[in-house]
């Protein structure tokens, strides 16, 4: 079968053996797969990913000595079942699934080799127990947004977003835009969003941001504080030890760039008592001033992936129309165009999510 293979930092369209489902697994046909920013990072910064995972868990996230088939944001169709399966999902059903094979040695799909390819391939193997059928009323392209929106849902959960919270989203790339979509669905606001790119700022407006800021012209942090001002004591954030009671609603920030220095900007600009979710991936070193965060009693909470419950909840929200995220999809390509799509996503701020259709 055809697949896009990553080797030595380069993408190529190759023929690879069709994967074979093991016990408790199914063979599926990939219908659509999104290109994620982390896919681009793996292609360019694979050794940096491994340094981070080695430091955290003592293992390499990527086996850079073998070809890798990327792709973890997929919708697929069930083709056949392997041994020891329940077969409760009929052949021909469209499904999504967390990108994990629940084997004795767990496999992270989209980060593994050609024997267990990700969604940049015509077919792949999934764990039966993780399959979630796509409701009939939900189109395939929108269902392909389940995974990236689940990442955003996780970041909201990490800062307990809700109630009177006033959010700031720094960085309006795919992660930031997904966060804005979830914030809007939750009815939180006013939503303040900041990005250097006028195209990204326009995306943020379309997806629900109420106040959109060009950081070169206006401080996002002043806009955030201004949006949170209230004279109603019942709506104010709890007091902190040093700052005391401020005339502000609770404030939550989302660092969605991964750019060095931005987290410290958030620490410096955030109102006292803010909760900050760090969703952007910085694979290098960074410098922060902990004393500022301590004096302000800030919460810094880092976010990655999602729980099975958050993944399923995201699909339900899409199916029931609670999330309107179709504006995230800005392009489509077949397998032969994936390398060009990577370049396009690197150079064009007018693109957010490009979907791969392996049948083309």
> For residue 195, how many other CB atoms are within 10 A of its CB?
27
Q: Is residue 320 part of a domain?
A: no
Please say if the pLDDT value at position 268 is more than 80: yes
Provide the domain count of the chain: 2
Query: Strand, helix or coil at 297?
Result: coil
Predicted confidence at residue 348, as pLDDT, reads 79
Q: What percent of the chain has pLDDT over 70?
A: 100
Predicted confidence at residue 91, as pLDDT, reads 98
Query: Strand, helix or coil at 276?
Result: strand
Instruction: Compare 48 and 201 and report the one with higher pLDDT.
Output: 201
Predicted confidence at residue 37, as pLDDT, reads 84
207 and 115: one domain? no
Predicted confidence at residue 247, as pLDDT, reads 98
272 and 208: one domain? yes
Reported as a single tens digit per residue, the pLDDT across 98-125 is 999 999 999 999 999 999 999 999 999 9
Please state the pTM of the whole predicted model.
0.94
Among 59-68, 225-234, 265-274, 336-345, the minimum mean pLDDT is found in 59-68
Regarding beta strands 100-101 and 25-34, do their DSSP bridges make them parallel or antiparallel, or are they unpaired? unpaired
Q: What is the CATH number of the domain that holds 164?
A: 3.40.50.720
202 and 187: one domain? yes
- Average pLDDT, stretch 206-223? 97
Predicted confidence at residue 41, as pLDDT, reads 80
175 and 197: one domain? yes
Q: Is residue 308 part of a domain?
A: no
Reported as a single tens digit per residue, the pLDDT across 164-183 is 999 999 999 999 999 999 99
Q: Is residue 307 part of a domain?
A: no
- Which spans in 115-173 are helix H? 140-143, 146-158
130 and 219: one domain? no
> For residue 291, how many other CB atoms are within 10 A of its CB?
9
- Which residue range(s) make up the domain with 141? 2-145+325-356
Q: What value does the mean pLDDT of the chain take?
A: 95
Instruction: Compare 151 and 64 and report the one with higher pLDDT.
Output: 151
């Amino acid at each position: 079968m055809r697949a896009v293979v990553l080797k030595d930092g380069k993408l190529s369209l190759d023929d690879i053996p069709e994967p074979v489902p093991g016990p408790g697994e199914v063979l599926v046909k990939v219908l659509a797969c999104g290109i994620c920013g982390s896919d681009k990072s793996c292609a360019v910064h694979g050794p940096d990913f491994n340094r981070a995972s080695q430091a955290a868990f003592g293992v390499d996230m990527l086996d850079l000595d073998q070809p890798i088939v990327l792709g973890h944001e997929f919708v697929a169709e069930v083709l056949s079942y392997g041994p020891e399966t329940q077969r409760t999902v009929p052949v021909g059903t469209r499904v999504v699934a967390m990108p994990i094979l629940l084997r004795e040695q767990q496999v992270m799909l989209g980060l593994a080799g050609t024997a267990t390819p990700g969604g940049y391939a015509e077919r792949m193997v999934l764990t039966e127990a993780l399959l979630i059928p796509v409701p009939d009323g939900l189109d395939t392209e929108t269902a392909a947004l389940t995974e990236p929106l689940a990442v955003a849902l996780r970041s909201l959960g990490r800062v307990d977003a809700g109630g009177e919270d006033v959010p700031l989203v720094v960085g309006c790339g795919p992660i930031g835009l997904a966060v804005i979509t979830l914030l809007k669905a939750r009815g939180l606001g006013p939503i303040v969003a900041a990005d250097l790119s006028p195209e990204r700022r326009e995306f943020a407006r379309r997806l629900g941001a109420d106040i959109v800021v060009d950081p070169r012209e206006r401080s996002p942090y002043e806009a955030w504080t201004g949006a949170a001002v209230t004279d109603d004591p019942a709506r104010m954030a709890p007091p902190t030890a040093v700052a005391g009671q401020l005339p502000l609603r609770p404030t939550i920030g989302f660092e969605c760039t991964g750019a060095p220095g931005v987290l410290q900007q958030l620490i410096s600009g955030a109102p006292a008592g803010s909760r900050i979710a760090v969703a952007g991936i910085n694979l290098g070193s960074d410098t922060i001033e902990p004393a500022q965060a301590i004096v302000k009693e800030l919460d810094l909470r880092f976010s990655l992936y999602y729980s099975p419950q958050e993944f399923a909840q995201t699909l339900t929200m899409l199916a029931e129309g609670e999330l309107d995220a179709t504006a995230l999809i800005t392009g489509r390509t077949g397998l032969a165009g994936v390398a060009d799509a990577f370049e396009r996503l690197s150079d064009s701020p007018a693109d957010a999510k490009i979907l791969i259709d392996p049948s083309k």
